[in-house]
Amino acid sequence: MNPHFLGIDVGTSGVRICLIDADAQLIDTVHTPLPPLLRDGARCEQDPQRWWQALIHGLDALAGRRDLRAVAALAIDGTSATLLACEEHGAPLGPALMYNDRRAASEAARIAASAPAESGAHGAHSGLAKVLWLSAQSRTHNARWFLHQADWLSGRLLGRFGSTDENNALKLGYDPVARRWPDWLANLDIDPTRLPAVVPPGTGLGPLHTEWAQRWAMPYAHVVAGTTDSTAA
């Protein structure tokens, strides 16, 4: 059986799923729309459960018209610096802060005092600024994980959480040269155990959880680390 692959793109307006063959030829695609973002001044949020519902709907539709038994791997890309706080087993503790949420301005100033100029963690839009902001909120300050959009959805498909890719991790302050979380995070009282483990894009994360493998008839599918939307484009 020639292997097939699934690419899942989670954008601002919808979730697009592409099925390709081993020669990167498109076999089929499906798009599921997402509701508008919740905007109010500097606030920009979205319910992460809506992403999951759209992903489920799209894969249900694809499995309804295609034989997916040949799918060997799937990967997800999401919007850069879209972040949420969640419990150990992935339950969100509130809405996700979208890539253009600007409420973490004071947190960005704290980062600027510690981070080197070349770090991707600068600015109120950064993932690290959002971690600091969420850590100060009563609903999310005890979060087990701070995860990107692609991390959380991959975790749902795996049945476990705690991984990200090197591209998404850049705006959390990840050092791509040393390939680790930098020491200066300690200046911000960041607990690195609440940040996901970082792997290169394309790294195998594990088999698709049995529930979903059976639902979509993908017995051989593995989830691999994805990337950001801009990198995937």
* Both structure tokens of 200: 């290169």
Residue 61 sits in a domain whose CATH number is 3.30.420.40
What tens-digit pLDDT sequence spans the chain (233 residues)? 799 999 999 999 999 999 999 999 999 999 999 999 999 999 999 999 999 999 999 999 999 999 999 999 999 999 999 999 999 999 999 999 999 999 999 999 999 999 999 999 999 999 999 999 999 999 998 999 999 999 999 999 999 999 999 999 999 999 999 999 999 999 999 999 999 999 999 999 999 999 999 999 999 999 999 999 888 87
Residue 177's pLDDT is 96
Give CA torsion, residues 188, 108, 46, 137, to 10 deg. Answer: 50
DSSP 65-109: HS--TTEEEEEEEE-TT-EEEE-TT--BSSPEEPTT----HHHHH
The domain in which residue 140 lies consists of: 4-232
Considering its fold, how many domains does the chain have in total? 1
Residue 230's pLDDT is 86
Listed as own residue / partner, the contacts of 116-121 with beta carbons closer than 8 Å and 24 or more positions apart are 116/184, 119/173, 119/182, 120/170, 120/171, 120/173, 120/174, 121/170, 121/171, 121/172, 121/173
